[in-house]
Amino acid sequence: MRMLNGDIQPDYADVASALIRQIPRRSLGGAAACVYHRGEKVVDIWGGTRDAEGNPWCEDTTAISFSTTKGVVSTLMHVLIEQGLADYDDPIARYWPEFGAHGKETITIRQALCHTAGLYRLDEMISRPEEMLDWEHMKQRIADARPAHEPGAQHAYHALTYGWLMGGIIEAVAGRALQRVLQEELVDPLGLDGMFIGMPHNEMFRRATLAESKLPHWEPRDGWQRKTYELVEAVLGRFGVELAETRSMSIDMSDFDWNSEAAVQAMIPAVNGQFTARSLARMYAMIAGGGQIDGVRLLSEARVSEITSLRSDRRDRALQLPMQWRMGYHRAFSLGKQAPEAFGHYGYGGSGAFCDPSRDLAVAMTVNSGSGTPMGDTRMPRIARASIKAIDRLK
């Protein structure tokens, strides 16, 4: 029997119903959800199991949240810019001189945030996924990389490279290690109980492990699969859809263990953040509240307006979908509920977090079972829809 723990205000019962359906009925797995409205925490619930031994998901359980991590890194960059340490239109090489190699000397922080830097082709930077575990090595690979297109000309999702790109900028601008900047500029001021990129050894006991620790990798086999794939690729190419660009975002990671201590403790700031839903929701509640929560202001209202403005409605060159990019965030998918001002970042496997400033709403979910892209996994959009419906009923 699936049960939830935590607290929820009666008006948000549909959120609990949506979450409990995310928890496997007959297999291992758990999830947590948190909702803030007008700066108040109105949903804080969790349930299921956090590991293969069947230990229960607890109040302080963290989970790897894949690309949900990008929203955290983006927010951290905005906080530094709010502090006057840099400007969006500054060349990255001003702070990180090595980055200026191979025609990248004019790429700006804004272009990095908006996925227009052209540095998404991971398959041209590394050959083995184990290389991702070496933070300094990966920063060097980004610094040595060549843009795939003229910077600023196209939007192409930096699926894995975004973290080393933005993390390198953050360290160069702040003059401190990324983990320290995260702790001092986001975690401590907001009083967050679970937000890590590169989890410390003494916090490892809190983490949920993925039910499936290795991600599938598909390539067309010889014969009919290969011929069919090539035919589809050729037809789509006539309409400007380049499947090769989608494949270039990653490399074969089918043998890479995301549950390993090495992977959890490494800094892979695009994809390996360990979060509680509570911490993600509170961070986004700060943005939804015009840059402040509980008297703590990290962003000005003008800054929030700037970072949340739509930057592109065009089809993303790598994802082949219109993501409606903001500065480090995409539109929030909510299964039909109208939320044109909602934005955040969802992740592979079902996690996600977003805010809707027009409703002063922030929502987050973490999960450790199932797998799928943010476009093919409807669990976070279902939580989003239930939350938005609850808010709209209160009007």
Of 63, 164, 36, 173, nearest in space to 112 by CA: 164
Annotation marks residue 387 as catalytic: no
Question: What tokens does 349 get?
Answer: 């496997």
- Pairwise CA distance, residues 41 & 43, whole Å: 6
Task: Give every CB contact of residue 370 below 8 A, 6+ residues apart in sequence.
Answer: 24, 29, 211, 349, 350, 377, 379
* Phi, psi (deg, nearest 5) at residue 381: -60, -30
Catalytic residue among 27, 65, 67, 312: 67
* Look-up of token digits 């959800």: 33
Of 172, 173, 164, 176, nearest in space to 86 by CA: 173
Residue 365 · residue 32 · CB < 8 Å: yes
Burial class (CB in 10 A: 0-12, 13-18, 19+), 210: buried
Of 82, 86, 98, 79, nearest in space to 164 by CA: 98
Residues annotated catalytic, as ranges = 67
